Amino acid sequence: MSAALALRVCPRAPQNPASGEKAALTPEAIGALATACLRLEVETWPKPGLVSHVDNGSHADMDAALLHRSAGGLEPFFAAIAKAAGAGADMDRLRGVGMAAEAEMLAATGGVNTHRGAIFGLGLLCAAAALRNAREPTLGATVSRRWGRAIHEGPAAPHSHGSRAARRYGASGARGEAATGFPSVYGLGAPALDEGLRLAPHDPEAARVQAIFALIAGVADTNILHRGGAEGLAFAQRRAAEFLDRGGVGAPGWRERAARVHDEFVARRLSPGGSADLLSMSLFVRAVERPARSMRSEFDHARGAQ
Ligand SMILES: CC(C)(COP(=O)(O)OP(=O)(O)OC[C@H]1O[C@@H](n2cnc3c(N)ncnc32)[C@H](O)[C@@H]1O)[C@@H](O)C(=O)NCCC(=O)NCCS
Ligand SMILES: Nc1ncnc2c1ncn2[C@@H]1O[C@H](COP(=O)(O)OP(=O)(O)OP(=O)(O)O)[C@@H](O)[C@H]1O
């Protein structure tokens, strides 16, 4: 993102010249950026099993229009989470805003779970973005240090798909990822975005495809475990790793190969919703932490796609 566009997409609060600290983004800018990241995730194809602007993947109850409606409705809640964090909110207070966001999502979609995992993970990163300063290395480190313990020990829904899969297969899921500072974002998704941009410098969608494959290959996604069990997860991880081993988006014919993997996931009804959430979060941390290197045309596109 150019400096001018960075200011347009994420207008910053005035810098404190005395302390020289990194200036925090305004809550409104944080909310707009989080929603832009959700929209960019939708506008990515091929993404194995997932909903995109091209097709509905393994989902009978969702399409791109529904995901965009949900993403738009969440923007003020992401801003509210950032505002609450900036005012010193603890995890109980953040959870309250997150639950209100879930209620808005269900109202906007007629009861479909379009973004529950994303509200949680991206919401916590929005909270961290409001507190950004020179002392914390990453947004993930802020989440882990300030709220990690409360996330770990906080209330969990015992009968959710995620917690059932977590119990049965020993996966730590969305909560574990957040409590430990988003290792999949910093270790898989964000570096794969960088690698994808290097492999295909003029195709930002290709960078997002590289990132979703890297995430699927490495994440124990409770959505896949819920629908396909351990066998489904092993299949998904193997196929994604094979795509990357053959050169990912740097190899000729990558789009057709990725589309074939997508078809295989759909045939098995597999959907890596957790990896989709982590792609949005990877876009978000890169845009906040390295704004000069983020992708200008991407965010322009996301704001137009509604
Ligand atoms: C933690 C949440 C997401 C509950 O998740 P749970 O594991 O019980 O299962 P559920 O099936 O409802 O949702 C899990 C979702 O997490 C995502 N996910 C799956 N696997 C992973 C993974 N390995 N890493 C990250 N996300 C994942 C998927 O999108 C999935 O749909 C959430 O419902 C919750 O506690 N909400 C309260 C709101 C809150 O605390 N907000 C904080 C401030 S924003
Ligand atoms: N493009 C996308 N396609 C599909 N899922 C996505 C996408 N982006 C994000 N997700 C995440 O996937 C989750 C929804 O997945 P899914 O519908 O498989 O879960 P579920 O409602 O728990 O289960 P099921 O549909 O199997 O009854 C959401 O929480 C959301 O955050």
Distance CA 38, CA 122 (A): 9
Distance CA 36, CA 39 (A): 5
120 Cα–ligand 1 center, Å = 6
252 Cα–ligand 1 center, Å = 36
Neighbouring-strand partners of residue 12:
25
Distance CA 80, CA 72 (A): 14
pLDDT, averaged across the chain: 90
pLDDT category at 135 given cuts 50, 70, 90 is confident
Q: What integer pLDDT is reported at residue 234 of this predicted model?
A: 98
pLDDT in tens, 242-260: 999 999 999 999 999 999 9
6 Cα–ligand 2 center, Å = 30
Q: Compute the average pLDDT of residues 29-50.
A: 98
187 Cα–ligand 1 center, Å = 19
Q: What is the CA radius of gyration of the chain?
A: 18
Nearest partner of 264 among 285, 243, 295, judged by Cα: 243
pLDDT category at 155 given cuts 50, 70, 90 is confident
Distance CA 191, CA 184 (A): 10
Q: What integer pLDDT is reported at residue 248 of this predicted model?
A: 98
- Long-range contacts at 295-300 (CB < 8 A, ≥ 24 apart): 295/1, 295/197, 295/204, 295/207, 296/1, 296/2, 296/5, 297/204, 298/40, 298/204, 299/1, 299/5, 299/9, 299/33, 299/36, 299/40, 300/5
Question: Is the C-beta atom of 116 inside 6 A of ligand 1?
Answer: yes
Q: What integer pLDDT is reported at residue 2 of this predicted model?
A: 30
Residues 6+ apart with CB under 8 A from 116: 102, 105
pLDDT in tens, 59-113: 999 999 999 999 999 999 999 999 999 999 999 999 999 999 999 999 999 999 9
**Residue nearest to ligand 1 atom 12, measured at CA:** 160
Q: ipTM of this model?
A: 0.95
Sign of the dihedral defined by the CA atoms of residues 24, 29, 32, 33, in that order: negative
Percent share of the chain, pLDDT over 90 = 80
SS3 234: helix
Asked whether residue 8 carries a pLDDT value surpassing 50, the answer given is: no
Please tell me the least confidently modeled range out of 2-6, 41-45, 294-298. Answer: 2-6
Question: Which residue range forms the structural domain that includes residue 147?
Answer: 3-155+164-304
pLDDT in tens, 262-291: 999 999 999 999 999 999 999 999 999 998
Domains held by the chain: number: 1
Q: What share of the chain is helix, strand, coil (3-state, %, to 5)?
A: 70, 0, 30
Please tell me the least confidently modeled range out of 10-19, 50-59, 81-90, 149-158. Answer: 10-19
Among the bound ligands, name the one nearest to the CA of residue 237. 1
Question: Is the C-beta atom of 262 inside 6 A of ligand 2?
Answer: no
Q: Which residues of 147-178 are buried (b: 16+ CB within 10 A; e: fewer)?
A: bbeebbeeeeeeebbbbebbeeeebebbbbbb
Neighbouring-strand partners of residue 25:
12
Q: Out of 112, 113, 233, give the residue to mutate to test ligand 2, the one with the largest number of ligand atoms within 8 Å of its CB.
A: 113
Nearest partner of 33 among 280, 255, 225, judged by Cα: 280
Distance CA 87, CA 119 (A): 20
**Residue nearest to ligand 2 atom 11, measured at CA:** 273
**Cβ–Cβ under 8 Å, residues 212 and 276:** yes
5 Cα–ligand 1 center, Å = 32
Q: What integer pLDDT is reported at residue 157 of this predicted model?
A: 86
